[in-house]
Structure 1
Amino acid sequence: MGLLSQGSPLNWVETKKYADHVRKHGILQFLNIYNKVKDRQKDVLKWGDEVEYMLVELDDKNEKVRLVLNGSEVLETLQGKGEKINPNHPTLWRPEYSSYMIEGTPGQPYGGTMSEFNTVEDNMGKRRREASSVLGENETLCTVTSFPRLGCSGFTKPECKPTPVEKGASKSLFFPDEAINRHPRFSTLTRNIRHRRGEKVVINVPIFKDKNTPSPFTETFPEDDGEAARAALPDHIYMDAMGFGMGNCCLQVTFQACSISEARYLYDQLATFCPIVMALSAASPFYRGYVSDIDCRWGVISASVDDRTREERGLEPLKNNKFRIHKSRYDSIDSYLSCCGEKYNDIELTKDEEIYKQLLDAGIDKLLAQHIAHLFIRDPLSLFEEKIHLDDANESDHFENLQSTNWQTMRFKPPPPNSDIGWRVEFRPMEVQLTDFENSAYVVFIVLLTRVILSYKLDFLIPLSKVDDNMKVAQKRNAVQEGLFYFRKDIFKGCNSVFDSTSKAAQNGVESDGQHEEYALMSIDTIINGKEGVFQGLIPILNCYLENMEVDVDTRCTILNYLKLIKKRASGELMTMAKWMREFVAKHPQYKQDSVITNKINYDLLQKCDRIAKGEEGCPKLLGDTVKRGK
């Protein structure tokens, strides 16, 4: 969840007074880091995954599922049994936004050898067993992206009531403040986003129109003071709190590059894959007890932290704010960072011109300078009294304050001050999957992709506006089967690679004399598995790469099993989690084809999810015959 400082949090009025101070010193801290490590070379490949988990109680007697609000206690127990007594413990545990969530990572980053891929699922299994062992009776660890009845009456244990009219962080009609992590950063972020925006956040998700869904679908809110009535749209599921986005779970991967230039190259190349992999990992079709018409959480989480004022959103003329800002601070990237990407930066980039000039004058190149100056159009949202005046030469809290609250699809991460950590990039769009096998498959797929991109100097870049278009398509219902995505046709252009002959054959007369000819609309099946005369496919390229690598038999078998899952999800032979969940609900005897998920439906769904995740029950439609159980 980014920077976690300790201390006395400031409210929005106090934080606003220090906004320019934080920006000024954040830039100085970035420049100090950059000047110390800009020439750093030959860092080895290290990488790691982050899995977010929900703590869930399955109440068999009442056939009800609730989210258990004891994440802090679970976290403290896990850390006390692990890293606090053994610095080499194989797992690390960290807090997340909601008090029913925890985040698990490997204790040490993985390295650059192929055999590391054979340990990922095993480590995820350790995490699941370790956390499960400290839970109470009837409690379980769940990797679902969005809890189907989040925000419905009685969804927490202990049961807590929302406080829309009293003093509180979110003032939500649905999401109680007790469901927010008790660390002051999280409630401060929640409150300050609302205060800065000037109103509660507004999330409207299109309802799935089933046979008996009311048309138009409208809701009334008994405790509403009028704000929800103004904000809620017909035929949409309305939500009003940060918890509806940040209370979801995801799967992320961070890579250490060998140098800053390699990190920038990887950042750009992977940005084009964010919508593709998001659609492939789609796992969140349900919100606030209703079936929605989307499959991914991205737009929900983007709206849940949108602190822009009406002026910044373009609804009123600029008067009290400096910038018209086109996106939430949680959204897709706005500029490529490598020289290869410069010509594809075709969307309007709002940046702080003074900071931009300061960075250029300090010797930062244009592309990196505009990236940082764009991040710094935002205000700090969470500031601690003890962390206002810092040593800019040796600390980076002010830089991280803004860096870590620009939640984009990709994150470019400078090394922390005075550390042995190198330049890193973080891949952030994936939805978490039900089983350790699936999560391992997606992680290994992305890591392998980076190895191929770097080994063969591949070029997947397309205009950034098309990546934004892809992001919109990726969230739609069944986008993995029905969506068409802009994708580059010739990824080997100008490269001397083992694939030159394949590349030429795949072009089949494609003209490349204009930028608009460099890419085409493709299905995910074509992108992942290939289609003769259109695109050679990522899986065939990865297989080719593996054939040229020395890999032990067991590791090769594991990798091929993972790629088999990705291949079959892309072709439609296996369902995404979102599609599988939709089918489960549609066939449930209590479902009335009215888009409503009752307590009983939710209980049966989550109980089945739990059995599948623990390996107690198979799920051929979701997993096929691909599963190799973690040891």
Structure 2
Amino acid sequence: MGFLEFSGDPMDWNEIKPHVKYVKEHGIIQFLNNYQRHLERPKDILKWGDELEYMVIRFDHENRKVQVSLRGEEILKQLQTKENNSFAKLTFLWHPEHTKYMLEGIPGVPYQGDMAQFSSVETNMEMRRKEIQKWLQPDEQIITLTTFPRLGCLNFTSPSYKVVCPESNPICQSLFIPDEAIYNHPRFLCLETNIRKRRGEKVSINIPIFKDTNTPSPFIEKFNDPAAEQAAKPDHIYMDCSCFCFGNCNLHVTIQGSDMEEAKLLYDQLAPVCPIMTALGAAAPIWRGYLADIDVRWPVIVQGVDDRTREERGLEPLKNNERVIHRSRYGPINSYLNTKSRIFNDVNIESDLEAKNILLNAGIDDLLAQHFAHLWIRDPLSLTNKIELDDSKVTDHFENILTSNWQSVRFKPPPPHSDIGWRVEFRVCEMQLTDFENAAFVVFIVLMTRAILKYNLDLCLPLSYVHLNTTKAQKNNAICKEKFHFRSNINSNKVESLSSAHVQEMSIDTIINGKKDVFPGFIPLIQNYLDSVTIDTDTNLKINEYLDFISKRASGDYMTTAQWMRHFVTSHPEYKQDSVVTDSIAYDLLVRCDQIEKGEVTCHQLFNASKNKKQDNTD
């Protein structure tokens, strides 16, 4: 969702440029003012919550076609009626997302430390889904997909809009996605336009195509556009605007620390877990109507939000820009925050030295100063003409830059004048088909943080390995085929050198389930934690259902969503072993996804059939 508090008229990149320095300076001032307010903050209790992004789709059963429905904006107005007319605490809240076929739902109030709350997550998700369904038309469905399989294909939206040429799309200038698909909110419109304008050219997204028996080799698409012809790589699926990444759905989990130091610790400890959960939750093998040789959305987003100029990418000598920036705005974290983790900061990162000096001179510790100074190398991409704000009361400029740095974990200071504390946001999970699966991921992540704190675990390893693991996690069937660098001595906090961290390559099965004399395993650690707390029988049973699902996903007993989708497509009678996912194949795939979510069919490849609500036939 990001920072949605906008007032005033949105500005394009040329209007923003003269104000960049001011916004950055005052963003730091706003952070420092807010930081000072919270120095004497009492300890906070555990609070946590999830953000689910939903996709509205339309089935044309007569013509065996499925499209995304652009009625999300209309549906959102209905969903927000209670919020606009009630001061009471609501069961869930709704927010807009980047495209008109997406909706974001969150719990109305955060969950707290009571163990019984873990059994409420799935129920709340089910209620959210039912609430959306009230406002759907007969041919529409709500579905939790990471990406629409034919996003950017001809007539993929309902209503359909023909893309004549990039110039007919002034906002995103895409060959594939019409401007009409983008939600009419200043932040989304600014991001779509200003990423391109700051970069100086359209983004260029190229992801490897899955080479099947009849896939052309080399695979080369022809476009009636010189820029696309130049940007598209052989044997890759080409996409050309940020909507291809912002138009995906994902699952975020936010956890409040008891104080700033605990939040920093959790930020560090969760970062090495991100690649593992990326591979474990893989759910995006199809892009622009083709099977890709990746299983996750990650590399698409990295390329889709890359606003670096040619100079910043090192393609031309520096003239108009300050520095070469080696990575996109989206990626794994680049520095740990906790003092004990300092030794593992082995990745060279760029910093805004002016911002860093201001922070250091104000008494901010060097690691936190380095963290924000690195984020501050990025310019604000969305801004309105209300530039001069009261820095003692608001943090708009700070939040603007913070929330347009899309890293795997986000460190979130308390909002001003709020009872919300220091938080970390775990951002890498992809959407699963059912509320059961999504709830399992949320509960697992939160319980991991409890085990980390309970047993004083240290999962940190050199960030260069975290980056390498991130690359591995993107691959086709990474969960079964790849091994990941991980710490074997996670019970030791006495690491005096990188070599004493005992990093070795492990399978995800070993990391999640454990292996004697190699690694204790996340699930055994969580089960030990559960044995140490008071928990009612029903909640314990529910949690163990989730842990069993995660365990079997890690061991390969259950397929990832991506592998199941890939298998569905390649086994389809109309598939021609050419990597093409046609309208009718996509229709059948999403019909089956909808049936699985409703429990109308069983799917033993994804999870235990007993988790379905009813079982009429077998997949």
TM-score w.r.t. length of structure 2: 0.97
The Cα of 1:615 is off from its aligned counterpart by 1.8
SS at 2:606 equivalent: helix
SS at 1:141 equivalent: strand
Q: 2:252 maps to what in 1?
A: 252
Q: Is 1:491 equivalent to 2:490 in the alignment? A: yes
Structure 2 gaps, min length 5: 615-619
1:549-583, Cα deviation, whole Å (9 max, x unpaired): 11100000000000000000000000000000001
Q: How does 1:65-464 map to 2 (within 5 A)?
A: 65-82=66-83, 84-85=85-86, 87-162=88-163, 163-166=165-168, 168-222=170-224, 224=225, 226-386=226-386, 388-464=387-463
The Cα of 1:408 is off from its aligned counterpart by 0.6
Q: 1:503 maps to what in 2?
A: none
Q: 1:473 maps to what in 2?
A: 472
Q: 2:14 maps to what in 1?
A: 13
Q: Is 1:579 equivalent to 2:580 in the alignment? A: no
The Cα of 1:263 is off from its aligned counterpart by 0.3
8 A Cα contact 1:444 1:559, kept in partner: yes
Q: 1:27 maps to what in 2?
A: 28
Moved more, 541-550 or 362-371: 541-550
8 A Cα contact 1:39 1:259, kept in partner: no
8 A Cα contact 1:132 1:141, kept in partner: yes
SS at 1:579 equivalent: helix
Q: Is 1:592 equivalent to 2:609 in the alignment? A: no
Q: How does 1:459-538 map to 2 (within 5 A)?
A: 459-494=458-493, 515=499, 518-538=502-522
The Cα of 1:629 is off from its aligned counterpart by 5.4
TM-score w.r.t. length of structure 1: 0.95
Q: 1:621 maps to what in 2?
A: 605
Change (3 A) 1:65 1:240: same
SS at 2:26 equivalent: helix
Q: Is 1:46 equivalent to 2:47 in the alignment? A: yes
Amino acid corresponding to residue 315 of structure 2 in structure 1: L
SS at 1:623 equivalent: coil
Q: 2:539 maps to what in 1?
A: 555
The Cα of 1:167 is off from its aligned counterpart by 5.5
Separation of aligned partners in 1, 2:493 and 2:73: 53
User: What is the aligned length?
Assistant: 612
Among all aligned residue pairs of Structure 1 and Structure 2, give the percentage whose two residues are the same amino acid: 55
Amino acid corresponding to residue 33 of structure 1 in structure 2: N
The Cα of 1:294 is off from its aligned counterpart by 0.1
SS at 1:252 equivalent: strand
8 A Cα contact 1:82 1:91, kept in partner: no
Change (3 A) 1:408 1:125: same
Change (3 A) 1:167 1:612: closer
SS at 1:429 equivalent: strand
1:453-505, Cα deviation, whole Å (9 max, x unpaired): 1111110000001000000000000000011111000111149xxxxxxxxxx
Amino acid corresponding to residue 67 of structure 1 in structure 2: V
Change (3 A) 1:12 1:520: same
SS at 2:111 equivalent: coil
Amino acid corresponding to residue 478 of structure 2 in structure 1: A
The Cα of 1:228 is off from its aligned counterpart by 0.6
The Cα of 1:299 is off from its aligned counterpart by 0.8
Q: 1:502 maps to what in 2?
A: none
Change (3 A) 1:621 1:70: same
The Cα of 1:70 is off from its aligned counterpart by 1.3
1:385-438, Cα deviation, whole Å (9 max, x unpaired): 13x010000000000110010011000001111111100110000001000000
Separation of aligned partners in 1, 2:532 and 2:130: 36
The Cα of 1:617 is off from its aligned counterpart by 1.7
The Cα of 1:616 is off from its aligned counterpart by 1.8
Amino acid corresponding to residue 499 of structure 2 in structure 1: Q
8 A Cα contact 1:265 1:338, kept in partner: yes
Amino acid corresponding to residue 369 of structure 1 in structure 2: A
8 A Cα contact 1:132 1:140, kept in partner: yes
8 A Cα contact 2:169 2:179, kept in partner: no
SS at 1:620 equivalent: coil
1:172-209, Cα deviation, whole Å (9 max, x unpaired): 00011111111122111111110000000010010000
Change (3 A) 1:227 1:58: same
The Cα of 1:2 is off from its aligned counterpart by 1.1
Separation of aligned partners in 1, 2:85 and 2:281: 34
Separation of aligned partners in 1, 2:491 and 2:85: 48
8 A Cα contact 1:91 1:104, kept in partner: yes
Separation of aligned partners in 1, 2:496 and 2:550: 30
The Cα of 1:105 is off from its aligned counterpart by 0.5
Structure 1 gaps, min length 5: 496-510
Change (3 A) 1:603 1:276: same
8 A Cα contact 2:600 2:613, kept in partner: no
Query: Which runs of at least 4 in structure 1 moved beyond 4 Å after TM superposition?
Result: 511-514
8 A Cα contact 1:580 1:621, kept in partner: yes
Separation of aligned partners in 2, 1:468 and 1:604: 37
SS at 1:385 equivalent: coil
Separation of aligned partners in 2, 1:512 and 1:94: 46
Amino acid corresponding to residue 353 of structure 1 in structure 2: L
Amino acid corresponding to residue 589 of structure 2 in structure 1: L
SS at 1:378 equivalent: coil
Moved more, 114-123 or 527-536: 527-536
1:568 aligns with one of 552, 555, 560: 552
Separation of aligned partners in 1, 2:503 and 2:103: 40
Separation of aligned partners in 1, 2:571 and 2:404: 41
Q: 1:605 maps to what in 2?
A: 589
Amino acid corresponding to residue 393 of structure 2 in structure 1: N
Moved more, 84-93 or 350-359: 84-93
Separation of aligned partners in 1, 2:162 and 2:3: 29
SS at 1:18 equivalent: helix
Amino acid corresponding to residue 529 of structure 1 in structure 2: N
The Cα of 1:83 is off from its aligned counterpart by 5.7
Amino acid corresponding to residue 26 of structure 1 in structure 2: G
Separation of aligned partners in 1, 2:554 and 2:360: 44
The Cα of 1:350 is off from its aligned counterpart by 0.3
8 A Cα contact 1:40 1:260, kept in partner: no
Change (3 A) 1:601 1:619: same
8 A Cα contact 1:266 1:425, kept in partner: yes
The Cα of 1:352 is off from its aligned counterpart by 0.8
8 A Cα contact 2:285 2:293, kept in partner: yes
Moved more, 263-272 or 536-545: 536-545
The Cα of 1:6 is off from its aligned counterpart by 3.1
Q: 1:506 maps to what in 2?
A: none
Separation of aligned partners in 1, 2:610 and 2:261: 37
Moved more, 254-263 or 608-617: 608-617
Change (3 A) 1:199 1:441: same
SS at 2:34 equivalent: helix
Q: Give the CA RMSD over aligned residues.
A: 1.4
